[in-house]
Amino acid sequence: MKMKIAFDCLPGGLRKAVTMSFDDGKLADVRLAELFRKYGIKGTFHYNSANVGKETYVTDAQIREIGAYHEISAHGATHPFLDRLPVPVAMQEIMDDRRYLEPLAGKPVRGMSYPYGAYSEELKTALRAAGMEYSRTIKNTSEFDLPQDFMEWHPTCHQSHDIDGLWQRFYNKKKHIRVFYMWGHSYEFDRDDSWARMEAFCEKIGGREDIWYATNQEIVDYVTAMRRISLSADRAYAYNPSALDVWILAEEKPVRVPAGKTVNLEKEING
């Protein structure tokens, strides 16, 4: 009888993740990044490289500081509607972002968010060729599912939505991988005088042992590794060809499959 296997675990055998995604690189990013870090929450900050250092925008030094804990990501150098540009011009927008931001991040920039949320199938294909592995839209789902296509990653909600109500519904779910994904703009907290509301929310959701706090790219990397696991024909063995440890469910028990290793699942679940 074949073993029951499910690719339905996050790091440590957890089932829930939280990720944050904020656009445009205004100075309020510094305060927001510090707030997230205070409560152990990871953020992804999407920058328009042509605006860095301008009045009301973050500087190179501030991006480096934010990137020491959070993720630095692309948003189009000049914040254009990428889907309205000729493909070579759209690619230049993203490559200009990468060239500028990568020395500040100290690593490759592999993800982005679509300016104005605008994208097309042709654009998605071209962006993959430019090294992008995910891109966030602005289509709020009020749900917590992983996307089939990370180049069309719809978030749970905008920062202005009923985040407390959504959080309660998210946290009460017991089965399957769930991701609470908030997006927005840090300057909106200044505009709406809503910093206290956001801090109260971060205090409530942060520091929980049953939640994985991850950047956008960390989630993409983990799910990509999980989807690459190879099983033997009888499902007794699992091989992980990636550089990340992955957890899978074998007979409903979380089992770690270390990077580059093969695991005897029957031995693991039977002790």
Q: DSSP for the chain, please give it.
A: -PPPEE----GGG--EEEEEEEES-BTHHHHHHHHHHHTT--EEEEE-GGGTTSTTB--HHHHHHHHTTSEEEE--TT---GGGS-HHHHHHHHHHHHHHHHHHHTS---EEE-GGG---HHHHHHHHHTT--EEE-S---SS-PPPS-GGGB--SEETTS-HHHHHHHHHH--SS-EEEEEEE-THHHHHTT-HHHHHHHHHHHTT-TTEEE--HHHHHHHHHHHHT-EE-TTS-EEE--SSS-EEEEETTEEEEE-TT-EEEHHHHHH-
What is the arithmetic mean of pLDDT over 151-167? 98
Residue 271 has pLDDT above 80, yes or no: no
Average pLDDT over residues 141-159: 97
CA distance 248 to 127: 30
pLDDT tens for 23-56 read: 999 999 999 999 999 999 999 999 999 999 999 9
Q: Which residue has the tokens 């993409």?
A: 220
Q: Kindly list the domain boundaries of the chain, sorted by start residue.
A: 16-222, 229-270
* Residue with token string 């152990």: 40
Rg of the chain over all Cα atoms, to the nearest angstrom: 19
User: CA–CA separation, 74 vs 95, rounded Å?
Assistant: 9
**What is the predicted pLDDT for the residue at 154?**
98
- Averaged pLDDT, 223-238: 96
Model confidence, pTM: 0.97
Summarised one tens digit per residue, pLDDT across range 165-206 is: 999 999 999 889 999 999 999 999 999 999 999 999 999 999
Given pLDDT bands bounded at 50, 70 and 90, which one contains residue 1?
A: low
Per-residue tokens: 266: 């029957």
- Looking at domain 16-222, its CATH class is alpha beta
Within 10 A of 202 (CB to CB), how many other CB atoms are there?
20
pLDDT confidence bin for 270, thresholds 50/70/90:
confident
What pLDDT score does 131 carry? 94
Mean pLDDT of the chain: 97
Residue in 181, 75, 185, 183 with CA at minimum distance from that of residue 127 = 75
> Cβ atoms within 10 A of the Cβ of 85, count?
15
Query: Could you give phi then psi for residue 60, rounded to 5 degrees?
Result: -55, -45
pLDDT digits (tens, 9 = 90+) for 104-123: 999 999 999 999 999 999 99
User: In sequence order, which residues have a C-beta less than 8 Å from that of residue 130 and are 6 or more positions away?
Assistant: 91, 94, 95, 98
pLDDT > 90 fraction of the chain, expressed in percent and rounded = 97
Q: How far is C-alpha 184 from the geometric centre of its chain's CA atoms?
A: 14
* Interior angle at CA 245, CA 239 and CA 248, nearest 5: 65
Amino acid at 190: D
Distance of alpha carbon 134 from alpha carbon 261, whole angstroms? 27
d(CA 151, CA 27): 27
